[in-house]
Homo-oligomer: A and B are copies of this chain.
Amino acid sequence: MRKVAIVAGGATKCGRREASWRDLVQEAGKSMFDSVDNISPRDIEALLVGAAQPERFTFQVHVAPMVAEYLGITPTKVIATTELMCASGQAAIRYAWACVASGMADIALAFGVEKMYMRDMAEAQTNMTCVLDREWDGVNGLSAPPFFAMTAQRHMFEYGTTKEQMAMVSAKNHHYSTMNPIAQFQKEVTVEKVLSSPMVSPPLNLFDCSGITDGAAGVILVPAEDASKYTDTPLHLIGSGQANIGNVVNNLASITEWVPLKLAVEETLRTAKITRDDIDIAELHDCFTISEIMEYEAFGWCEKGGGGAFIEEGEPYIGGKVAANPRGGLLGCGHPLGATAILQAIDVMQQFRGEVPKGRLVKDAEIAVTQNLSGAANVHSIMAYSRSPK
């Protein structure tokens, strides 16, 4: 298995964009190709496109060759779209990684794109009811906000987690996103503002929830031994973990303990040959504030149920035990499904390169993880990256 590195990345501004799906693809593609001198679209051998719901949001399937055409790419080895809902972008990175690691391709592009704003936003909401099993959960009105609200309620009941602690996650991530020019949300959000924002699904207020977002992003993967041809500061892929148990909410063993996440964490540490304490930056999947709190626990940075106290004690901030979401997270940056994991990877690369504003720079960071959950948190996907080759 060849070692693999990311040598270039580019993205759109994220948010409610007056831009078509196609515009987003071109904006991100241009940004990416402009950032690297000696890779042109014609050099891309493998193209993997992470797209969660293009059929519903833009009534378009077979989107990978559309991305290829819009970017001037003619894939000669591999082409496909990958779907894993909120982790669709990570699925693209992982397939691209497998292509390069196995030797099937030497230059692979993992691209992600989602156009979520529709003229009729009621249709957009309806679209998202097909994420969970519709015959068992969707039919009962279960979509993401009520599922995570139920999770939060139970976590509060079992562990005494408070709404204030959850709100601190939102305040932290919105603070960092004010220093991220491509983030959807650019204003500070205080704990008080979270708590007084409109109720979405109790106990989750509006600012406990990540947004509906348009966005696109791409990263180029090559064998690590070739990376120096393209950049002095590649991002090294050093490990990963991905696990799934169950799907229908009734079948989950527990909603306050994400067993697949614990498995994915262990696999990531094992394959990357690191300990949890080696992780300097964690780009966590904070689709809702409660998620990030449970992720502190699953990564083992605090005890089970201790996620609320962990943030209250200042641990997941820059300078604390682990810098959680110094990018601004999904809460601050938005969550353009297929693009999210790719945006995370790009920000980690920029962190390692020292290219992010001082206020959110994690100095001397060497190891980072990016994590995505999907569905009823029944699938968890993690990538581990390092600044130096390992």
Q: Which residues of A contact B (CB under 8 A)?
A: 1, 22, 47, 51-53, 55-56, 59-66, 68-69, 74-85, 91, 94-95, 98-99, 101-104, 130-135, 242-248, 251, 263, 267, 374-375, 378-379
Task: State the CA gap A375–B81 with chains docked (Å).
Answer: 13
Query: Given contacts A22-B135, A62-B374, A101-B103, could you give 7 more A-B pairs where the C-beta distance is less than 8 Å?
Result: A53-B61, A60-B130, A65-B247, A69-B248, A80-B84, A81-B83, A98-B101
- Least CB distance from A209 to B in Å reads 19
Chain B residues, Cβ within 8 Å of A101: 98, 102-104
* Chain B hits for A244, CB < 8 A: 47, 64-65, 68, 74-75, 79
Nearest Cβ distance between residue A59 and chain B, in whole angstroms?
5
Q: How far is the CA of A66 from the CA of B246 in the complex (A)?
A: 8
Chain B positions within 8 Å of A47 at CB level: 244
Chain B minimum-CB-distance residue to A94: B78
Bound-state Cα–Cα, A142 to B9, Å: 35
List of B residues within 8 angstroms of A247 by Cβ: 65-66, 68-69
Please, which residue of chain B has its CB at the minimum distance from the CB of A52?
A: B61
Instruction: From known contacts A62-B131, A94-B80, A95-B98, infer whether A75 and B242 are also in contact, taking CB-CB under 8 Å.
Output: yes
Residues of B within 8 A of A98 (CB): 95, 98-99, 101-102, 104
> Does the CB pair B85–A83 fall under 8 Å?
no
Are A76 and B130 neighbours in the complex by a CB distance under 8 Å? no
* A75 / chain B contacts, CB cutoff of 8 Å: 242-244
Inter-chain CA distance A85–B65, complex, in Å, is 11
Alpha-carbon distance A51/B134, docked complex (angstroms): 17
Residues of chain B with a CB closer than 8 A to A95's CB? 80, 82, 95, 98
B83 and A61 form a contact (CB under 8 A): yes
CB distance from A331 to the nearest CB of B (A): 21
Kindly provide the distance from the CB of A42 to the nearest chain B CB, expressed in whole angstroms.
Answer: 11
Instruction: Assess the B374–A69 pair: CB atoms within 8 A.
Output: no
Among B22, B79, B130, contact of A379 (Cβ-Cβ < 8 Å): B79
* Cβ-closest 8 pairs across A and B: A102-B102, A98-B98, A55-B55, A69-B247, A80-B91, A81-B83, A62-B85, A101-B102
| B residues less than 8 Å from A66 (CB atoms) | 133, 247
B-side contacts of A243, CB under 8 Å: 74-77, 79
Residue on B with the closest CB to A128? B61
Given the complex, which residues of B lie within 8 Å of A53, measured CB to CB?
55, 61
Within the assembled complex, what's the spacing in Å between the Cα atoms of A267 and B55?
Answer: 31
In contact, B134 and A60 (Cβ under 8 angstroms):
yes
Judge whether B61 and A85 touch: CB under 8 Å. yes
Enumerate chain B residues within 8 angstroms of A1, measured Cβ to Cβ: 102-104
Q: How far is the CA of A105 from the CA of B15 in the complex (A)?
A: 37
Q: Which of B56, B61, B81, B242 contacts A61 (CB 8 A)?
A: B56
Cα A245 to Cα B94 with chains together (Å): 24
- Minimum CB–CB distance from A241 to chain B (whole Å) comes to 8
Interchain nearest-CB distance for A221 vs B (Å):
13
What B residues does A55 contact at CB under 8 A? 53, 55-56, 130
A115 to chain B, nearest CB (A): 12
Query: From residue A112, how far is it (CB to closest CB) to chain B in Å?
Result: 13
Chain B residues with Cβ under 8 A from A77's Cβ?
Answer: 242-243, 267
